[in-house]
C-alpha cells in the first residue's frame, strides 16, 4: 500500500512500469493547493494561521468522453469543495483526521474509486511536515438514516433558574421530553480578566463550565459533557446532559463570543449546530433564533407544555 501511495503522485509512465503493463485507472488530481488556516494540536498553533499544502489524486471510473458531458465526470470542484468544507466544519487538530475526512467526502461521489491525499504543514519546521493516506470506495461507511439522528430540546438556564427551588421539578418534567441538553452562562461572580484575547476566551469558557458543574452538583441527572460524540451517545441512551462548551467552541470556526452576557447567543448557535427541535429559555434572557422558542418563568413551578 505504501508503494501505491508513492506511485499515486508520480507520472503515469512510472505507474505503468510499476504495474507491469496492467490496466490502470484514470485519475484526476489537485496539486500544490495551499490554504492558510488555523490547525494543530499544540498550543502555539492556536489563535494563528499557517500554510497547509494539499495534493490529492482520485482514481475514477473511465468516463464516456464521447458525449463531452461535464455531468458524467468527477469534477475538480469535488476535490476543492471537499477541502473547503472540512476546513470550515470545525477546527481540526490532526492532519490525519483532516485527510481522512477529505477522502471520505470525495469518495461519496459515485465515480470515485480510490483517493490519495497528501497534506503538509509548510510553516512548522525547516521542511514540509505531512501525512499521506489512501482510501478506497470500499472504505465508505454506510450512511446513517438521517431520521435516526436525535434532535434535542436545548434548554438555556439562567443563574436564577439554576439556584431555583423548582429545579428538580423542572428536570422531572424535562425527563419526559428527552433528548434534552441543558446550557448555562458564566457562574455568578467576577471573571478574571486577561489582556490576551485568546486567554480571555478560555477563561470565559471555564467560567461557563464551572457553572455547568454547579448545575451537575444540584442533580445527578445532569451529566456534564464536552464532545459531540458524548452528546450523541447520551441522547441515544436517554441521558440528560449539560453542555461544557470549551472543546466544541474552540474547534469551530465562527463560534460566537462567550462572555457572561453572551449566553443566549451561544445557546442559539449551539442549538442550530445540534439541529435542535426547539429552544427553551428559563430566565429573563432569550436568544435570537430561527428555531421554535419557548420562554419559561423561573418563578413558576411548571414549564410550558411545549415543546
**Residue 93's CATH number:** 3.30.1130.10
Do 83 and 188 lie in one domain? The reply is no
Last residue of a domain, one of 94, 120, 139: 139
Does residue 304 belong to any structural domain of this protein? no
Q: Specify the pTM.
A: 0.65
User: What is the pLDDT, as a whole number, of residue 101?
Assistant: 93
Does residue 69 belong to any structural domain of this protein? yes
Do 102 and 180 lie in one domain? The reply is no
Do 195 and 220 lie in one domain? The reply is yes
d(CA 232, CA 210): 22
DSSP output for the chain: -HHHHHHHTS-HHHHHHHTTT----EEEEEEEEEEEE---SSGGGTTS-EEEEEEEEEEEPPP-GGG--GGGS--HHHHHHHHHHHHHH---S-HHHHHHHHHHHHHTSTTEEEEEEEEEESSSSSS-EEEEEEEEGGGPPPPPPGGGS--PEEEEEPHHHHT-TTHHHHHHHHGGG-SEEEEE-PPSSPPP--S-HHHHHHHHHHHHHHHHHHHHHH-TT-EEE-SHHHHHHHHHTT--EEE--HHHHHTSTT----SGGGHHHHHHHHHHHTT-SEEEEESS-----SS-EEEE-TT-SS--S--
Do 125 and 254 lie in one domain? The reply is no
Do 121 and 260 lie in one domain? The reply is no
Q: For residue 176, what are the domain limits?
A: 146-296
CATH number of the domain enclosing 221: 3.40.1160.10
Contact assessment for residue 187 and residue 214, using Cβ atoms and an 8 Å cutoff: yes
User: What is the pLDDT, as a whole number, of residue 35?
Assistant: 95
Euclidean distance between the first and the last CA atom of the chain, given in angstroms as a whole number: 53
d(CA 113, CA 62): 10
d(CA 45, CA 123): 10
Do 103 and 233 lie in one domain? The reply is no
Do 57 and 84 lie in one domain? The reply is yes
Does residue 307 belong to any structural domain of this protein? no
Does residue 306 belong to any structural domain of this protein? no
C-alpha cell at 177: 421530553
Last residue of a domain, one of 139, 158, 174: 139
d(CA 256, CA 287): 13
Does residue 264 belong to any structural domain of this protein? yes
Please state the domain count of the chain.
2
Do 280 and 161 lie in one domain? The reply is yes
Last residue of a domain, one of 139, 173, 200: 139
Does residue 104 belong to any structural domain of this protein? yes
Does residue 305 belong to any structural domain of this protein? no
d(CA 39, CA 121): 9
C-alpha cell at 151: 434532535
d(CA 256, CA 59): 40
User: What is the pLDDT, as a whole number, of residue 30?
Assistant: 93
Do 163 and 87 lie in one domain? The reply is no
Does residue 239 belong to any structural domain of this protein? yes
d(CA 8, CA 252): 32
* Tens digit of each residue's pLDDT, the chain (307 residues): 446 666 666 654 454 444 445 567 788 899 999 999 998 888 788 888 999 999 999 998 776 655 555 556 788 888 999 999 999 888 888 899 999 999 999 999 888 999 999 999 999 878 888 999 999 987 665 554 444 678 999 999 999 999 999 999 999 999 999 999 999 999 888 888 999 988 888 999 999 999 999 999 999 999 999 888 889 889 988 899 999 999 888 888 777 777 756 889 999 999 999 999 999 999 988 888 889 999 999 899 999 987 7
Please name which of 23, 106, 100, 122 lies closest in space to residue 57, comparing C-alpha atoms: 106
Do 184 and 286 lie in one domain? The reply is yes
Do 208 and 128 lie in one domain? The reply is no
Do 116 and 190 lie in one domain? The reply is no
If phi over 0 gives left and psi between -120 and 50 gives alpha, with beta otherwise, what is residue 303? Answer: beta
Q: Give the residues across from 54 on adjacent strands.
A: 33, 119
Amino acid at each position: 500500500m505504501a508503494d501505491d501511495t508513492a506511485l499515486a503522485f508520480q507520472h503515469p509512465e512510472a505507474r505503468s512500469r510499476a504495474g507491469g503493463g496492467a490496466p490502470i485507472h484514470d485519475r484526476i488530481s489537485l496539486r500544490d493547493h495551499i490554504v492558510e488556516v488555523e490547525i494543530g494540536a499544540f498550543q502555539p498553533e492556536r489563535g494563528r494561521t499557517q500554510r497547509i499544502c494539499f495534493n490529492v489524486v482520485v482514481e475514477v471510473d473511465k468516463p464516456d468522453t464521447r458525449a463531452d458531458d461535464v455531468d458524467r465526470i468527477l469534477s475538480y470542484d469535488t476535490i476543492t469543495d471537499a477541502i473547503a468544507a472540512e476546513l470550515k466544519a470545525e477546527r481540526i487538530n490532526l492532519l490525519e483526521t483532516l485527510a481522512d475526512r477529505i477522502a471520505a467526502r470525495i469518495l461519496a461521489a459515485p465515480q470515485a474509486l480510490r483517493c490519495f491525499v497528501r497534506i503538509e504543514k509548510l510553516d512548522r519546521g525547516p521542511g514540509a511536515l505531512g501525512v499521506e493516506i489512501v482510501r478506497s470506495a470500499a472504505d465508505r461507511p454506510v450512511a446513517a438514516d438521517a431520521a435516526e439522528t436525535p434532535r434535542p430540546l436545548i434548554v438555556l438556564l439562567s443563574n436564577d433558574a439554576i439556584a431555583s427551588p423548582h429545579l428538580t421539578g423542572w428536570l422531572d418534567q424535562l425527563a419526559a421530553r428527552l433528548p434534552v441538553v441543558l446550557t448555562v452562562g458564566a457562574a455568578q461572580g467576577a471573571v478574571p480578566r486577561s489582556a490576551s484575547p485568546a486567554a480571555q476566551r478560555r477563561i470565559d469558557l471555564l467560567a461557563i463550565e464551572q457553572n455547568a458543574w454547579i448545575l451537575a452538583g444540584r442533580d445527578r441527572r445532569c451529566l456534564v459533557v464536552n464532545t459531540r460524540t458524548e452528546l450523541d451517545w447520551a441522547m441515544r441512551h436517554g441521558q440528560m446532559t449539560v453542555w461544557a462548551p470549551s472543546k466544541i467552541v474552540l474547534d469551530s470556526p465562527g463560534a460566537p463570543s462567550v462572555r457572561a452576557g453572551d449566553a443566549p447567543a451561544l445557546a442559539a448557535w449551539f442549538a442550530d449546530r445540534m439541529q435542535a427541535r426547539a429552544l427553551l429559555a428559563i430566565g429573563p434572557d432569550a436568544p435570537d433564533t430561527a428555531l421554535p422558542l419557548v420562554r419559561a418563568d423561573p418563578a413558576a413551578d411548571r414549564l410550558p407544555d411545549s415543546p
